[in-house]
Amino acid sequence: MSSIRLTQAKTMRGEVLVPGDKSISHRALMFSALADGTSEIRGLLRAADPFSTLSCLRQLGVEIVDDGTVLTVHGKGRDGFSRPSSALNAGNSGTTIRLLSGILAGQPFASTITGDEYLVRRPMKRIIDPLRLMGANVEGAADQKPPLAFHPAERLSGITYSLPVPSAQVKSAVLLAGLFAQGSTEVIETIPSRDHTERMLHLPIEHRDGKTTIRSSRDHAVQPCSYEVPGDPSSAAFFIVAGLIVKDSEILVRNVGLNPSRRGFLDLLRRMGGSIRLQNERVAGGEPLADVLVKHSALRNPGNVPAEIIPNIIDEIPILSVAAAFGEGEWVLHHAEELRHKECDRVTAMSRTLRAMGVVVDEYPDGFGFVPRTAPHGGAFVTMSDHRIAMASAVAAIASLGESTIDNSECVDISYPNFWETLSSLIAN
Ligand code: S3P
């Protein structure tokens, strides 16, 4: 595992085309596999996480042909999967294990799904509980962590489930199991989480009294599709923040997905005074898109980060906190306990990165706070093998005085294999 050395950039200039959206890539693969007929996927994120989903689906008997540009998925229909000959491996991917669990719960054969040394530490009780309520026969290992073992259920029945934590992964696991259940399954959200599953599967949605109810059932048809995956806003966020905090910078990030359940970080950065212009706004593959032009800006920190936007910005909090280290005023983040259950404990990881930059950080059980007092300096940043911590630290490094190191630079391969090349192509010294 190699460490990377970075120094402060004088300025950042140029254009970036970020890779495909990770959440949409996983779903395009899974939903194509579930459909009766052939689907095509363009713009898939070619990175370790979606490739974990792809190899699990192949193990379930799904034929997927990749010509390097288009993936052609020969869907098996809901009842066409075959028993895998060995345990499915979700690698580092929480989305793979949680969403596929909804599908595995409905199969007439036994299966096991596990993952790498980081994934096996992540909580799965949140999906095991509702799947068991539906009648699924699923067992976790100690503490309900992976591996998860599935045995055929006598039958799955629809449930009405109010999400105890706002989580698109839990919502999706339940709705996918609902496609195999007798009767209707309803998932109720009070705080919205990303809505790619319901959009892409065209599930019925009802908004009432501040709540959203999404329904699925065995009768809901899953159609083969031609998917066009937009650029990932969570990946774009690293270059958007780099453009805002590195002096004299101007960066155009093209083809950025701007689904309302994902664009909260842009709105927050604008409120902080960031010069962010949307150009060429359009809709492709059912998702809003734009090119995002950013320029170096003086940022004013938000004080308390509003609790209701946290699920929307959950993956961008590491890079948003880097932006705030270059801003003026208070950054106070509470209600983000979920951050402790991501690819690593991101509250601890970001508190460490910010401290290494000279920021005095208060760590809370559910977040962290600080007021930047001096110009951040470089340091020895520790990724905890988490792709987003590595990329947030890289942006911190190029904006900070002096030199920095970042350990385990390969971990960006989870979501952004060309990250280091793209970063250096923008540095204009
Ligand atoms: C994802 C949902 C989010 C997010 C993760 C991807 C998805 O997790 O953090 O990176 O694709 O559904 P939760 O749903 O657990 O909040």
Distance of CA 311 from the midpoint of ligand 1 (Å): 9
Choose the final residue of a domain: 157, 192, 209. 157
* pLDDT tops 90 at residue 284: no
Query: For residues 403-420, b (16+ Cβ closer than 10 Å) or e, as one string?
Result: ebbbbbbbbbbbbbbbbb
Report pLDDT digits (tens) over 106-139.
999 999 999 999 999 999 999 999 999 999 999 9
Report pLDDT digits (tens) over 73-114.
999 999 999 999 999 999 999 999 999 999 999 999 999 999
Choose the final residue of a domain: 108, 141, 157. 157
Predicted pLDDT at 407:
98
Write out the residue range of the structural domain in which residue 246 sits. 4-20+230-426
Measured in residues, the chain has a length of 429
User: Are residues 81 and 133 both part of a single domain?
Assistant: yes
- Ligand 1 pocket, mutate which of 127, 169, 388 (most atoms under 8 A from CB): 169
Active site residue 315: yes
Predicted pLDDT at 163:
98
Q: Would 32 be classed as within a structural domain?
A: yes
Number of structural domains, the chain? 2
Choose the final residue of a domain: 157, 173, 193. 157
Q: Which listed residue (315, 366, 386, 413) is catalytic? A: 315
Q: Would 182 be classed as within a structural domain?
A: no
User: What is the position in ligand 1's atom list of the atom closest to the CA of 27?
Assistant: 11
User: Are residues 255 and 403 both part of a single domain?
Assistant: yes
User: Are residues 124 and 10 both part of a single domain?
Assistant: no
Predicted pLDDT at 361:
98
Kindly report the CATH number assigned to the domain that includes residue 278: 3.65.10.10
Residue nearest atom 4 of ligand 1, based on CA coordinates? 315
User: Are residues 261 and 126 both part of a single domain?
Assistant: no
Could you give the percent of the chain with pLDDT greater than 90? 99
Give residues (CB < 6 A) around ligand 1: 23, 95, 167-169, 172, 193-194, 314-315, 338
- From edge to edge, which strands make up the β-sheet containing 160-162? 160-162, 185-189, 211-216, 205-208
Cβ-count burial of 248 within 10 angstroms (0-12 exposed, 13-18 middle, 19+ buried)?
exposed
Per the CB < 8 A criterion, the answer to whether 108 and 152 are in contact is yes
User: Are residues 274 and 366 both part of a single domain?
Assistant: yes
User: Are residues 85 and 16 both part of a single domain?
Assistant: no
Question: Whole-model pTM?
Answer: 0.98
Mean pLDDT of 399-409: 98
Q: Would 223 be classed as within a structural domain?
A: no
> Which residues are CB-neighbours of 79 under 8 A, at least 6 positions away?
108
Report pLDDT digits (tens) over 332-374.
999 999 999 999 999 999 999 999 999 999 999 999 999 999 9
